[in-house]
Amino acid sequence: MQATVHSFDPATTAGSVILDTGRVVPFEAEVFGASGLRHLRVGQRLSIEVAGDPEAEDARLTRLWIVGIGADEPIH
């Protein structure tokens, strides 16, 4: 699944993404820390994994990455 960075706080490394449906899903610093990325910018496209139904109130992002960056992420 893909999403767009909605907000990102470099001080806390927490933020949120907006799904293509318009739903905003937050992510915690731990998720960003595990991504191997160093910074995100608002409007940047990401690949994401969400626990449960992404449209549910309690949806939470469990993984984010940029295709082609990171282990086992070949550029197509």
Q: Domain of 24: which CATH number?
A: 2.40.50
Q: Which residues does 7 contact at the CB level (< 8 Å), separation at least 6?
A: 15, 16, 42
| 30: in domain | yes
Q: How far is CA 64 from CA 15, 58, in A?
A: 11, 17
- Domain residues for the domain of 47 are 2-65
| 56: in domain | yes
| 73: in domain | no
Are the CB atoms for 14 and 25 separated by under 8 Å? no
| 22: in domain | yes
Q: How far is CA 72 from CA 3, 57, 63, in A?
A: 20, 31, 14
Interior angle at CA 42, CA 40 and CA 43, nearest 5: 110
Over residues 17-76, the pLDDT tens digits come to 999 999 999 999 999 999 989 999 999 999 999 998 888 888 889 999 987 665 566 554
What is the number of structural domains in the chain? 1
Stated pTM of the model: 0.84
